[in-house]
Amino acid sequence: MLRELRVSRRSFPLVAPFRIARGIKHVARVVTVELCQGAMTGRGEAVPYARYGESMDSVLAQIEGLRAELAAGMGRDELQARLPAGAARNALDTAMWDLESQLSAVPVWARLARPPRAALVSAITLGIDTPERMGEAAARLGSARLIKIKVDASDPAARIAAVRAAAPDARLIVDPNESWDVDLLRQMQPALERTRVDLLEQPLPADADEALLGFDSCVPICADEACHVTADLPRLRDRYQAVNIKLDKTGGLTEAWRLLRAARAEGFRIMVGCMVCSSLGITPALEIAREAEFIDLDGPLWLQDDYPGGVSLREGRLTPPAPAFWGG
């Protein structure tokens, strides 16, 4: 039976500006894919990311270039060979997983031999602001058990200290988004130890992380921009102690699952992250999150309006949607 491909752009205004070291976001712009076969429709979502040379137009062009093959029944294995890791492959791959779960009446979690999805502790992200405002924002989080602090190279110690003072019991992830150099990384070691930071995410530019070889950090360092797919793992050894798995980087759940297993086998600690997106983009990542030590999937919480019945935050835990939302 032939399949129908539907592709669209969507924009989700944010509840507040989201500021990181490389810029400010006011709207989440995503690509949505629907693969229809008979009465079944599989859905996927992805976020084109300029840091990786992507745009809405380039991602849409990649998807449209496979329209005939997708209509004829292209599967996930062929998709891995036809498209590189990235947003376009993610949207298609996750739509395929969703469609397959409906056609087979076997949920994605069962096909991965895992228990049903359950509520998980997720980081709540604080964008860059003054130390005072970041401290106030942390205090408003109340029951948050894990907080992710966005910083740049401008007095990060003061921002981290303000958050720690306002949230004395929360676990902390600090994310400079490649904005530090190795000298600042050295200077920050006492502050990171003093504030009991649990994880430091991609402090140096990915193309300058050779400075991490042999670096003895007081806090585990996690590869984000430096880690996309399983083939990246060999160069990460002796530089990073953890990897951040994002479906928009791996090109979908298929490669994300391979990366998870390979990274764990090599002794890396596991983080699962996201772009700012809707619950449709987050729900497939929950299949990886159940295996992760650090979970950062609060993207939909930044949206003014998410999909009805999407993920929700309750007492610091991210509650998954109903099974029919994605993946059975």
Distance, CA of 154 to CA of 267 (rounded, Å): 33
Is residue 243 classed as helix, strand or coil in its secondary structure? strand
> In sequence order, which residues have a C-beta less than 8 Å from that of residue 242 and are 6 or more positions away?
199, 220, 221, 222, 223, 268, 269, 270, 271, 293, 294
Distances (CA, A) of 217 to 42, 197, 209, 272, 294: 44, 12, 13, 21, 18
Is residue 158 classed as helix, strand or coil in its secondary structure? helix
- The residue with tokens 């070291």 is 21
> In sequence order, which residues have a C-beta less than 8 Å from that of residue 245 and are 6 or more positions away?
227, 256, 259, 260, 263, 270, 271, 272, 273, 288, 292
Nearest by Cα to 51 from 296, 248, 297, 214: 248
249 assigned to active site: no
150 assigned to active site: yes
Catalytic residue among 25, 148, 150, 249: 150
Catalytic residue among 25, 148, 246, 249: 246
Q: Which two tokens stand for residue 101?
A: 């779960």
Q: Annotated catalytic sites, by residue?
A: 150, 246
